[in-house]
Chain A
Amino acid sequence: MGKRNKTAASAAPVAKKKNFFQLLWKYRTLTLMCIPAIVFFFMFSYMPMPGIWVAFVKYNYRKGIFGSKFVGLQNFEFLAQSGKLWSLTKNTILYNIAFILLGNLLAVFMAILLNEMASKIFKKTAQTMMFLPYFISHVLVGVLVFNFLNYDTGFVNTILVKMGLERWQPYADPHVWPVLLVIIYLWQQTGYSSVVYFASIMGIDGEIIEAARVDGANAFQKIRYIILPCLKPTVVILLLFALGGIVKGNFGLFYNIIGTNSMLYDTTDIIETFVYRATMTDFNFSTASAVGLYQSLIGFFIVMVVNFVVKKIEPDYSLF
């Protein structure tokens, strides 16, 4: 255990140099309060890291990760040459750009509109309804989409048939999915995203708006010259942080909607869905890990860049 410095009780102006163990002892309770979390992240986030080695070997189940044959960058070369890595990266990034830009645009738009409404009851009811998509699981979203779009019984086809038109089979057409997935994403996320902006708008000093009214500003001018500029810092920060995660995410949504429909992979397969299938269906741990490592490294690099940019714009908000 640490040494206890008995003479430390005096309030002498000379700074007492405490070594690590003395500090540990003094703050033992606070440290102990952090131990469960430290253990947790060690077990579930840090312990897997050595396993990244499996990206550099030809994995043999019996030999384990570290006993399998080392093959260097072969797994990466294969992925790069077959074009798979590029295709996955392209899909992941493009979808995320669409989600982030359109998502924030729509969220700001809805927040501004909602703010203009007079009726409190209307606002509350609307917001509650808009929140529903956020609370349902991705599995349920998949069920909803399927029952909307499927060829035999889908709601869309029910309507088309009633109108005397031909049925539509989106599940066989890769080209429609970029649009569909963006719509579905916006449907699920906008209620949630607009809350931040709505709260920001509510936080704008009422006197500024009053003053504008006195000066004769109409509603459009109020929005353009007061609300939007006030929202700008929030939008910029949220945009940047979202862009930091541009190679990640959305597995749940994509996997439950697209599933294992390989006809659609060209336009809908993102990094995480590929990694999941490589791990769980093909048991190809080497390839899965190679793509995963690729994603983590690029993601890390991008976050560093983003943080650098944020530091320049609004230093308060940088991560460190």
Chain B
Amino acid sequence: MAKKKDLDLASSSAKVKLGVSDIVIRTFGYILTTFYALACIFPFLIILGSSFTSESYLNRYGVQLIPHEFTLEAYKAVTKSGLIWKSYILTIAITAVGTLIGLSIIAMTGYALQRRDFPFRNVISFYIYFTSLFAAGLAPYYLLMTQTYKLKDSYLAVLLPLLMSPWLIILMKNFVKSIPHEITESGKIDGAGDMRIFVSLILPMLKPALATIGLFMALGYWNEWYQSSLFLSSRVDVKPLQYMLYETVNSTEALKQTVAGQYITVTDIPSNTVKMATAMLATGPIVLLYPFVQRYFISGITVGAVKG
């Protein structure tokens, strides 16, 4: 048993002496983790590098990590036509409005549903939760949105469906549960109504929860392309960012619009690098911002993950 050196019991914190097995695992761990972490960012880096490479070099030699024949042509092409900036403004607007409205509704609902004295909470909770157990499917949904609600080509078709989800409501419920019921009770003793209690007493204590859920929603809106692909046809000029990227990459027509007016023929367009530049611009903010708000996502995952 004396394979490892003596343990210093007095200092129970950091200064534990290492055994052979620890060193083995740590070395193994450092190598593997480094490899995996690099693998996570590597695909992104090669696109970034190649977006600054000239189109001719790219077509001749393929995608590489380091830019060759450094040029800003692709970025100039994408930004000059202005379409991407309009997409940006649209996406930011939808994200802001959707997150604000959705978060308000989710917060209210989450609070009400965790109030033990609320007699309807079980029924309403089940009503909401059931929708994640059984869904009508895409075809009926599509027909309803286009024929009954007449939302084809409307930005509302993108904004509305993403306002909330059963998972976010349950997550909010879990967050609110950690606020002691005494707060509500003391509010009631003071004669305040439920809404007053919610706004003045509960909401201020919910700031981390609001940040977490707000960020999840904002990410959902920013990355959204699915509803756009269902309901926004070519009649709509400005599309949300990720869908605009999707079309630029997959449709020549869209590619032409993205670099509108700058090239005479389609074959003149440096299409590969333009697509990459568009991709980088569409994702830029997320990649730059997420390290700063990572902890909110981590808190959301841990609070929400296990208890459904």
Interface residues of A (CB under 8 A from B): 23, 27, 29-31, 33-34, 36-38, 40-41, 43-52, 54-55, 64-65, 110, 113-114, 116-118, 122, 125-133, 135-140, 142-148, 152-155, 157-158, 161, 187, 190-192, 195-196, 199, 210, 213-214, 216, 218-221, 223, 234, 237-238, 241, 251-252, 256, 259, 272, 275-276, 278-280, 285-286, 288-289, 291-293, 295-297, 299-300, 303, 317, 319-320
Contact = CB atoms under 8 A, between A and B. Distances in A.
**Binding site secondary structure of chain A:** helix
A121 to B, nearest CB: 12
B230 A280 contact: yes
B275 A143 contact: yes
Contacts of A148: 43, 46, 63
B109 A37 contact: yes
A317 B308 contact: yes
Nearest to A53: B140
Interface of B: 1-4, 7, 9, 12, 16, 19-22, 24-26, 28-30, 32-34, 36-41, 43-44, 46-47, 50, 58-59, 61-64, 105-106, 108-109, 111-113, 115, 117-120, 124, 126-129, 131, 133-144, 147-149, 160-161, 163-164, 169, 193-195, 198, 219, 222-223, 225-226, 229-230, 242-243, 245-246, 249-250, 272, 275-276, 279, 282-283, 286-287, 290-291, 294, 297-298, 301-302, 305-308
A252 B136 contact: no
Nearest to A23: B119
Given A139-B225, A196-B305, 12 more contacts: A36-B108, A49-B140, A64-B147, A131-B290, A143-B275, A148-B63, A153-B272, A196-B306, A199-B302, A219-B25, A276-B138, A296-B134
A148 B46 CA distance: 9
Contact of A275 (B40, B138, B291): B138
Contacts of A118: 26
Given A118-B26, A132-B41, A199-B302, A288 B286 contact: no
Nearest to B22: A219
Contact of A152 (B62, B243, B282, B283): B62
B49 to A, nearest CB: 10
B239 to A, nearest CB: 12
**Binding site secondary structure of chain B:** helix
Contacts of B41: 129, 132
Contact of B143 (A54, A114, A251): A54
Given A135-B290, A319-B129, A27 B245 contact: no
B283 A292 contact: no
22 contacts: A30-B112, A36-B108, A37-B128, A48-B140, A51-B141, A65-B140, A65-B143, A113-B29, A117-B26, A126-B37, A147-B46, A157-B62, A195-B301, A214-B7, A216-B2, A219-B24, A221-B21, A234-B306, A285-B142, A295-B137, A296-B134, A296-B137
